[in-house]
Amino acid sequence: MTSVASAAAQLPAVSHADEAAAPGFIQIPSHLDGFVQTGTPQESTRTEEFGTSTRRCQRAVQILTVPGRMVAKEAPCCPCCGRAMEGNGQVPIALRHLPLGMERARIEVSRPRWACRECGQASTEEVPFRVPGQRITLPLLTFVYNLLALGQTLKAVSLTAGLNRNVVKKIDKARLSGLYTEEDGDKERKLRKPACYLGIDEFKLHNCRRWATVIIDLKMGHVLWLAYSKKKQVVYDLCDFVGEEWMSKVEAIACDMNADFERAFLERFPHLSVVYDRFHLVKNFNEKVICKVRKDKQARLKDEGDADAARALKHSTYILMSSEDTRERKDQDARAGKVVLRGSALFGKQEATQKGDSHQRYKDLIAQNELLVACDIAGEMLSRAYGYRQQKRMRDAMEQIVEVCRGTKDRHFARVRQARRVAHGRHRGALPAPDEL
C-alpha cells in the first residue's frame, strides 16, 4: 500500500470475448481477477449528503450492482487432517468498485464455503481482489491513492469515490505511513527520512478556546506532527516518536516567540538553532514597537494639552504598520471608488468606499515624531533584509537594524534584540546578544 502509481496496467486482463454482449451494455476489462459476472446489473437509488455541516445539500445517486461469483476451483485440502473438503454453500459479500461518473458501482460476489466431513473444519474462500480490512476492490483503492496523491481533500475524494470520509482518512493514513515511515528493530514505525529544518506553530480550532500545534518539514513542506494543545508536551511527544538519532540530524527550528516551544526543543537537543521566521518577526515589530511608540506619543500629547495632535494619532495603527505597497494600493482603490462596505436599508447602514490619502497621512504622522521615523526606517530595512538570499548580507542587514534601534535609546526598541535570530542565520550568536544591546 505504499505506491500511488496506477495499478491498472499491472492487474491481469479479464477476457469475456466468448460472451455475447446484451443491448445497451459495453464490455470492458474489470481487472477483478477470478470474478465472473452471473447476471444483468441492477440499478438502485440512494440519497447522499454533498453539503457541509452548515449548508446541507442532499442528492440522489445511482448505484449499479453487478452480481457475480468466483471462478470455480478444485476443493482445497483440510489444514487439520489433510483430507479433501466438500462444498458447503455460498457466502455473499458486497464490495465497492470504481465509480462510473457520479454513479456508484458495487460488486456482489458469491464465495464458496468449504467443510471437512472428517474433522468438521470449515473455511470460506478469500476474494483476491478485495482490500484487506475494507469492503472495497483493489482498483478502487488505486483510484483513491491517485486522487490523494494529486492533493485532493478527504471530502473531495470521499464524494468522488463514493466512500465514507473515515474510510478515505484511514486509506490516506496508510498511504502516508508507507511513504514516509518504516519499521525499526522493535517493530515500531519511525519517520524514514530525517528533516533538516522544522517549523512549529499553534493555531486555534474552530474559533474556540481549543488549540492545536502543527510541526512541518520546512524543506519539503510535509506535515510531520499534528496534536491538540500548544504546550511543551507536544514537542516532547514528537521527540519521543522520532528518536534521538532522527533529531540529531535536525539543524534548526523555526517558531514564533512562544518560549515553551523553544525551551522544550533546547532541553532535549541543545545543538538546535532556534530561528524566528519573517511573519512572526514583522508581527512582533509591529505590535511591540510601532503600536507602543504610537500609544506613548499620544499619551504624551494629551498630557501636554495638544489635543489636535493627539487626535491625529487616533486610528492610525493600521497605516503605521502597513507597507508602502499596501498604502499605495489603498490610494488607488480610493481613486477608483472601491466599495468596502455595502449599504443596507434594512439595518440603516450606508455604503462606504475606500478612504484615500493613506500615503500622505503616513508622511504627516512620521514627521511629527522622531521615533516614528525610526520605526519607518527599521521597518523598511527589515522588509529589505528578507529579500537577500546570502547569509552574510542578511546578517549584516540585521546588525544595521539593531544599530538603528539602539540609537533611539527607547525601551520599546529594545525588543528588536530578538531579531538576532533570523531565518537565514544557521547559528545562534550571529547577531549581538541581548546583553550587548
Query: What domains sit in the chain, N to C, each tagged with a CATH number?
Result: 41-175 (no CATH), 193-276 (3.30.420.10), 279-343+350-436 (no CATH)
Residue 186: predicted pLDDT: 66
Could you give phi then psi for residue 105, rounded to 5 degrees?
-120, 140
Q: What is the pLDDT of residues 206-252, one digit of tens each?
A: 777 789 999 999 888 888 899 998 889 999 999 988 888 889 999 99
Residue 429: predicted pLDDT: 36
Cell, residue 437: 544591546
| Per-residue confidence band for 434, with pLDDT thresholds at 50, 70 and 90 | very low
Residue 424: predicted pLDDT: 45
- Say whether 124 sits in a helix, a strand or coil: strand
Q: Where are the alpha helices (DSSP H) in 277-412?
A: 278-285, 291-304, 307-312, 317-321, 324-336, 358-367, 370-385, 391-408
What separation in angstroms does the CA of 347 have from each of 322, 340, 435? 32, 17, 57
Measured distance CA(367)–CA(381) in Å, rounded: 19
Percentage of the chain beyond pLDDT 90 is: 15
Could you give phi then psi for residue 310, rounded to 5 degrees?
-65, -35
Please tell me the pTM assigned to this model: 0.60
Residue with cell 527589515: 382
Cβ pair 383, 394 in contact under 8 A: no
Instruction: Identify the bridge partners of residue 37 per DSSP, sorted by sequence position.
Output: 68
